[in-house]
Structure 1
């Protein structure tokens, strides 16, 4: 091209070059058509009988090429051609046009051209109305509003923005509803599985098999091993039950998402996504019951205590009123306070004082029961109570009751051996852990909901 030519002459030269290129393409298409028509096969029926061997699809493709080239050539034969500049607002379209024309024809600035177009909107509407109504007489003043459409880039951007905002708000609402629905399903499933696992604690504790040594160190090791074994079994069972119950639904949602994403990706990326999806770790709930921490305040009571003894009855009453497991209540409730504090550190005494401040009602109950125990253990109290009962029911009823009471005591005392202590320890441990798991069940359910939302 001539470098000294005017800028607009470059379009004419480009038009001429493009016309020559498409003219050559048209000639090549015609030559190819002649070649296809020359490929024939004799049919054998007689002289001049032949059949074209080119498939109809290729012949139709040649005609399609010829029509496309003719359409483009008709465009090049026009006297006037339009040049369109595409770009966002303030992207340099007006500056480029002015530079090519070597003159400031269009206004320049941040959105200035668009602003000018908006200012002349009413002028265009007035001119179009006069043209359609007065000059062409194809519409009336009432109908002309339905035949004039003026859409600017700024108005279109605002409309698209509002539509996108409404669509995104709808997406957020649908996503929130789906999330809440999934959260409710997780809450219901985990809560039910947690309750069932608490009911299965007895079977889990019974599976624990370790030699029981009736010594202080042996009992400590036995409790530690029992807590670790129970924690491992309960945590694994809860993870399997909770994950298995919701895995089918989560898998269906993830599979649907994978199918949708695969459709919108190109073929090379589809294989990469499939590789990542194939080696992706499956979803699994992470649940840690931490039985050793829950049973930290567990106090076993392996001394022989008659079921209907005064001390055992008092412990059960205090445990019921305080809402704690009976194994969390100290066994020496009937011992004077001064004797219990002997040999304890200042830190332990301080912690106990803090607990007493928040358990005033329980302490008052303990004081009343302690006073009653002193009276019951005294000879005078025993004589008074015995006299009242004797006068009320008679000596025969007292004798039968005492015999039955003594028989139960002897029967339980004869059965109290090392195996009974082990079973008693397991039963106390199960009861204590079940009560603590019920207290922390809501926290574990919330934790599982958070994992599912992630």
Structure 2
């Protein structure tokens, strides 16, 4: 494309002065009008710069506020999600306003049907033939003319930054060009500002293809019209407004709020050929234009619409201005030219006034109001946040004070309850130990009754199973008896103590955690003491003696005599020396079937005792003969025979009565004696064990209760830390809200100053 442009420029330019293009000679001319500092367009430039600066600050402010509110979104008592979402919409709104305000010019778009003279109107306003014009479909693409600080004009194709010669626009943008551009493509023409009064303050002219040559009107609007400040509808005065033209501007009005539209009825010079219908046709066009602007588009009032409809001849105006500047020779013009030319100049004045006054007011006033609305909305929301934060902060401070007081009270009461419960547990443990010891001693004394109740068949040949079952019977019986005597009272005392502990400790626990201790609950099994007697191991060394022994045998008699003598000696020694200790007696023993007696003095034994002792200990025939001979000589044979018969009868009786029942009775008697002796040895141990169980139960109960208090205290401490964090967060939130609220007041004041300076003075 660049090569094509260079070829086109070469064809249009020549070495000689006669071949120079009219466009190339424009650089030799100086501006007809000189811009002044107080021109309406300068006011627009200054106002635009000011409002842009304000909205840059508003954008920063909205971003800061949205970020601040997003961080507060979780604190539902301060702000809710709907408010945050509403605030987030302000970001896109401000960005949209900024994008519109960021343009450094006012854009004027010319639209109409093909060959209505759009390009001619722009050329006449620019006072030079810059854009291609002619019969038929001429302009093939969008042409944008804007001012440039450079002294030489140039053009730039869309999507490129390369400067091309402006002379090529006649071929490049012409519909008859072989390498024509797409109808939606834009070519920017940069024209020196010192050559055109309207371009001096960055006013941009946009020429367009006919609205009747393409169905892509929506694409045109989106691409080239959304940022236009003024629209000029160039109509053909030889016809009337067509549906195509109206539909296009209907689409524009739906995208833009009340666009500024001028209607130029071009080619009004054709009315010179029919002067008799001049007024009627003008009135007809005027009425239809008013209806279109006021009733159909509803973009202005009737009075405003009357000042935006003009009847001109762009071709005549362009020729006249070219002739004034010496570019062309004077050309005869149709009748009424002066009126048409004056109306064209009037259009230019009204057009400039619209840019400098109406556009500034309608455009910037709306954005100013929207900016002030956004600032006010955020200010009110920040006021709400600040008040909510202060209120919530006060509530949190009260809660923190209550928690501190409750924690101190809980710690003091827990220390007091702990001391009391320790003393109570100590007293109860001592009481249990005494009760168990007393009850166990009483049960040991009644052990023979318990053993007598055991009725398992007794077989002297096999006693291992009998012993095992007897051990279990005694252990279960003692345990059940002890439980019957102690369980109810101990359980009642335990329940009372646990209930007291629970009530005392639960008073320190928050209401939400009460009743979850599980100590005194319906259906819970009461505490029971386990009496670990373990008779099987305790009486494991029991050895029964079921051998038959004659109760009136010599050995038995000597044993009874020896036992009685030992007891009498002990009593005698005690009477003679009350302070002396009892002399321990050595028990009799049997070794290899012989009875070993303790040695005594000779005066304490009678002759019979000595003889009997000698007879027994001898264990031989000689000893028996000696005893028999001694007795025969002493008492006589009749007494001996009688005594022997009685003695033999007693022996026979006892031997016959030594049945399995007698053996069982002897076994139980021996077992009772052995078990009594063993059980007395573990009385203290058992009572201590039971008291230890009670101590463990009560201590465990109190420990669990204290653990609940610790959990409650830990939870309160956690709540305190959370409260501290919330308080710090609320303090920070309130401070930040106050700063942002003050900034909103500042921005509102800036917008008010802008209104006073630029909007109210117009």
TM-score by length of 2: 0.29
Instruction: Give the greater-gyration-radius structure (CA).
Output: 2
TM-score by length of 1: 0.46
Which of the two has greater helix per residue? 1
Which of the two has greater strand per residue? 2
